[in-house]
Structure 1
Amino acid sequence: MDFPGLELKIRMSLMADPDSHVWVPARLYYNKTDPYAVQFSFDVTPDHVVQWTFARELLDQGLTAPSGIGDVKIAPIDQNRRFSIELESPAGYACLGGPAASVKAWLNKTFEVVPAGRESESVDIDSFLDELLPH
């Protein structure tokens, strides 16, 4: 049986400014075919979904200490009960907050599927090269 991946659906607060926020559906997805990465998406509207891919290690570190430079920054808030994720690109900026416990539990499941430090064992180099090289 092929591994379908692990998905977590949560509600996160999208902070429009320091004094207001809206609740948005968000999803985290992990698949061992891309073992170093986590896909994250949230719905701005039903027709506008923002999608990001970043390192699983960044998410893991960011749940306990501020992590990341550049486009993605993740940090614990509220004594590690919640976390924030800041996303920045030429297309815009978003800051979201969400529950840390459910994300930690989901992340632990990803480490059961592919343990930290063993990600390279899940990468199919031959298939990757076949996609890159002309036949």
Structure 2
Amino acid sequence: MDFPGLELKIRMAFVAGPDMRVFVPVRLYYTDTDPYAVQFSFDVAPDQVVRWTFARELLYQGLTAPAGIGDVKITPIGPHRNCCFSIELESADGYACLEGPAASVTAWLAETFEVVPAGRESESVDIDSFLDKLLAH
């Protein structure tokens, strides 16, 4: 089921303080080579990109109700709770909170579920290729 991947480019507000937001370009990417996960990246400087990989299901759940513990937390925000969402990322290297539009992410996620339906992710995993790559190193 090879496909080139699904990409979404949006702008999100990097929350730099209680009254300070800086808009940054964000990229979400999904491929059937890692069907359980989405890749999330944003630019913090012209030559510095922050990249995270986390469960597609976490993003899906977090758009409608608070989800996640630990390093990644996703929460709907605002009076209508389906208009915007926040994503908090935390590691030993630092903390970031971004806020953005939920509608475009929801539509993009729907596309990922069309390509690889929920509960059928394991059908997209080529275990033999994965083991070959793992054993080659």
Once the two structures are superposed, residues 36-67 of structure 1 have per-residue CA deviations (whole angstroms, 9 ceiling, x without a partner) of 00000011122111000000000000000000
Give the aligned partner of residue 103 of structure 2: 101
- What RMSD in Å do the two structures reach over aligned CA positions? 1.4
For residue 67 of structure 1, give the secondary structure of its aligned residue in structure 2: coil
Give the aligned partner of residue 36 of structure 2: 36
Q: TM-score, normalization: structure 1?
A: 0.96
Paired with 1:133 and 1:13, the residues of 2 have a C-alpha distance of 42
Give the aligned partner of residue 114 of structure 1: 116
Residue type at the aligned position of 1:121: E
Identity %: 79
**CA separation of 1:52/1:90 partners in 2, compared to 1, >3 Å: closer, same or farther?**
same
Paired with 1:31 and 1:69, the residues of 2 have a C-alpha distance of 24
Paired with 1:134 and 1:63, the residues of 2 have a C-alpha distance of 39
Q: Is 1:91–2:79 an aligned residue pair?
A: no
Residue-pair matches, total: 135
Paired with 2:32 and 2:63, the residues of 1 have a C-alpha distance of 21
Once the two structures are superposed, residues 13-41 of structure 1 have per-residue CA deviations (whole angstroms, 9 ceiling, x without a partner) of 00011111100000100001100000000
Deviation, 1:134, is: 5.4
Q: TM-score, normalization: structure 2?
A: 0.95
Deviation, 1:132, is: 2.2
Paired with 1:68 and 1:2, the residues of 2 have a C-alpha distance of 30
